[in-house]
């Protein structure tokens, strides 16, 4: 680990241009761990990395520190070449979206991720699928390298952890709680960060509540399937975490599936599971993710995807 950190430090020191990105359509961890890393590099190396993104940043993240310092990828000239590209919480190559061309053309790529992925983009990898959030990997590097960190960085790392654990509901080991404890000891206030995140758009909350109230229950109530059609999808901000959360709270529900009709013949699927790993089902749809929370994007009609999902759960 120390050898890898030495190489990371050397690469940052020698880079004239540095870019950082998470996955397309950012969530709290993707946004906040990239912003935390940006600030760490600014504080410790006096350099100004750019955080590039593709897709949407949900409104509930509007008030996170340094939110305004991200740059939409299409605002950067196509031929721009970076000496160093750091991808954090990126998932897989295809989740990079519009920033992939910049990652491909960079001289050196470092990755810090906690997703399962067989096609790594990094020349130097700080990957750990045991981590609940990519923010923990950034925190780990910062501590081992003895980097200076400030309140913005601590709050950003804490938000990455809070959002990826669903306010600590998806914690599977104490490791993430120990990281949070050390952030709290250094001044992070969890209650005020949770409050800062309670900032959702009314339209999306109403669309998500409607999808939850119209959900169907199969397999004797063990499988809940909710659908957001194309018209409502336009009002959705984020991935539909509320629908997944509401249905997952119901007694007897083991699996929750959310189908989002993103456009004609394109459906985004989110899978959640209480006890059994669900990532293999997501992979059978060409997607992936974590053991109990995974997803896929399928080029097919909503009707067909709905039927295929039901078939995929036969025998589960
Ligand atoms: Mn993450």
pLDDT band at 44 (very low <50, low <70, confident <90, very high): very high
Q: Are residues 161 and 236 in the same domain?
A: no
Nearest to 302 by CA among 238, 231, 245, 197: 231
Q: Are residues 222 and 272 in the same domain?
A: yes
| pLDDT tens figures, 150-162 | 999 999 999 999 9
Measured in Å, residue 28 CA sits from the centre of ligand 1 at 8
Measured in Å, residue 115 CA sits from the centre of ligand 1 at 7
Q: Are residues 250 and 146 in the same domain?
A: no
Measured in Å, residue 190 CA sits from the centre of ligand 1 at 18
Q: Are residues 38 and 146 in the same domain?
A: yes
In DSSP notation, 70-127 reads EEEGGGS-TT---SEEEEES--SGGGGGGGHHHHHHSSEEEEEE-S--SS---SEEEE
Q: Are residues 7 and 48 in the same domain?
A: yes
Tokens at 274, concatenated? 């209480």
Q: Are residues 208 and 274 in the same domain?
A: yes
Residues linked to residue 269 through DSSP beta bridges, in sequence order: 259, 296
| pLDDT tens figures, 214-225 | 999 999 999 999
* CATH code for the domain of 250: 3.10.310.30
Q: Are residues 180 and 272 in the same domain?
A: no
Domains in the chain, number: 2
Domain that holds residue 121: 2-197
Q: What is the mean pLDDT of residues 93-107?
A: 97
| Three-state secondary structure string covering 191-205 | HHHHHHHCCCCHHHH
Tokens at 169, concatenated? 């509901």
Query: Which helix (H) or strand (E) segment is 220 a member of?
Result: none
Tokens at 250, concatenated? 């119901």
Q: Are residues 292 and 207 in the same domain?
A: yes
* CATH code for the domain of 54: 3.90.1640.10
């Amino acid at each position: 680990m120390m050898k890898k950190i030495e190489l990371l430090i050397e690469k940052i020191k020698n880079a004239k241009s540095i870019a950082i990105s998470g996955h397309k359509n950012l969530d709290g961890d993707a946004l906040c761990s990239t912003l935390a890393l940006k600030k760490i590099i600014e504080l410790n190396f006096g350099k100004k990395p750019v955080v590039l993104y593709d897709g949407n940043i949900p409104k509930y993240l509007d008030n996170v520190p340094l939110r305004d310092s991200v740059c939409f990828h299409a605002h950067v000239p196509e031929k721009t070449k970076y000496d160093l590209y750091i991808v954090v919480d990126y998932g897989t190559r295809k989740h990079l979206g519009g920033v992939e061309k910049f990652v491909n053309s960079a001289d050196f790529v470092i990755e810090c991720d906690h997703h399962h992925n067989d096609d790594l983009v990094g020349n130097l990898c700080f990957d750990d699928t045991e981590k609940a959030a990519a923010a923990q990997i950034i925190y780990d590097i910062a501590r081992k390298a003895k980097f200076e960190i400030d309140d913005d960085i601590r709050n950003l790392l804490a938000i990455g952890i809070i959002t990826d654990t669903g306010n600590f509901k998806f914690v599977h080991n104490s490791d993430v709680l120990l990281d949070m404890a050390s952030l709290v000891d250094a001044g992070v206030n969890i209650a005020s960060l949770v409050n800062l995140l309670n900032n959702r758009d009314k339209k999306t909350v109403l669309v998500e509540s409607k999808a939850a109230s119209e959900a169907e229950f199969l397999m004797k109530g063990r499988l809940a399937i909710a659908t957001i059609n194309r018209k409502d999808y336009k009002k959705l901000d984020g991935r539909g975490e509320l629908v997944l959360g509401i249905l997952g709270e119901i007694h007897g529900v083991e699996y929750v599936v959310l189908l989002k009709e993103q456009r004609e013949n394109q459906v985004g699927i989110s899978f959640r599971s209480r006890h059994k790993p669900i990532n293999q089902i997501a992979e059978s749809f060409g997607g992936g993710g974590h053991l109990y929370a995974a997803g896929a994007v399928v080029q097919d009609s909503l009707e067909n995807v709905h039927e295929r999902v039901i078939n995929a759960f036969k025998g589960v």
